[in-house]
Amino acid sequence: MGQFLHEFFSPLDFIRSVPTVWNGFIFNIKLMLAAEALVLPLALLVAIVRGLPGRAAAPFRALAIVYTDFFRGTPLILVLLLVLGFAQLNYLGLNSEALFRVGLISLVLVYTAYVTEVYRAGIESVHPSQRMAARSLGLSYMQTMRYVVLPQAIRRVIPPLLNDFIGLQKDTALISIIGLTEAIVLAGQYVSDFANQTAYLVAAVFFIFLTIPLARFTDHIIRQRERRERAQMA
């Protein structure tokens, strides 16, 4: 038992490995912020394209469907390896900046596909009578989307969207497999250098502390909406 506690919960190793793991964790945070900033608008774009009406838009709709099906169905780890392989066609021995881009592109490709579906569910949840009312006032299709459908849709999907972002934050750890020195890699180095597993616990704590604010924020938004809806019923 003592052996186990020492191996995983050694206070000394905990404190000693914090700076090391933190150095790598900065990468995870950067990657997460950059990916989220790109996923939000890109997924919205794909969701809008997927909903475009008319025969002329059919090829674009098809493209959007193929894209979301492919990247939602492919494990992130495979996408990472494929993007890495693609990047290595031009340069062997990628520097950390290039590896960061590989990780970013992979995360964006996969999570844009997820978030597209979240947006789409939101867009479809807006009652058709809202579109009809907007169109009957002489607003164009795009104006109707911009001013009437999307504001209502986005408000509704914020909780599931934040949930996907929690997944994204955790998945930044997967970039360790392409050799980028992020939190997990550095924790692993500490573990092999000092023959003590506590550094992994440190990494876990970092990830948990990153996702907790987002999780509580999601709860807060859901509660706020419930309160508003109850107030409407009264």
Question: What contacts 49, CB < 8 A, 6 or more positions away?
Answer: 57, 60, 61, 63, 64
CA nearest to 43, candidates 123, 99, 101: 123
Which residue number, 152 or 197, has a Cβ lying nearer to other proteins? 152
Give the CA radius of gyration of the chain: 22
CB-based contact 226:178 (threshold 8 Å): no
Closer residue to other proteins (CB): 73 or 138? 138
Kindly report the backbone phi and psi dihedral angles of residue 139, in degrees, each rounded to the nearest multiple of 5, phi listed first.
Answer: -75, 145
Secondary structure letter of residue 126 according to DSSP: S
Q: How far is the CB of 130 from other proteins (least distance, A)?
A: 6
Q: How far is the CB of 121 from other proteins (least distance, A)?
A: 18
d(CA 100, CA 94): 10
* DSSP 8-state symbol, 67: H
Which C-beta is closer to other proteins: that of 61 or that of 131?
131
Q: Which is nearer to other proteins, 124 or 193 (CB)?
A: 124
Tell me the C-alpha distance between 203 and 29, whole Å: 12
- Could you tell me the smallest distance in angstroms from the CB atom of residue 63 to other proteins? 27
Residue identified by tokens 């997460």 is 32
Binding site for other proteins (CB under 8 A): 129-130, 132-140, 143, 147-148, 151-152, 155, 232
C-beta of 57 vs 139, nearer to other proteins: 139
Please state whether 31 falls in left (phi above 0), alpha (psi between -120 and 50) or beta: alpha
- CA–CA dist 203, 215 (Å, integer): 18
* Cβ nearer to other proteins, comparing 58 with 132: 132
CB of 46 to other proteins, least distance (A): 23
Q: How far is the CB of 143 from other proteins (least distance, A)?
A: 5
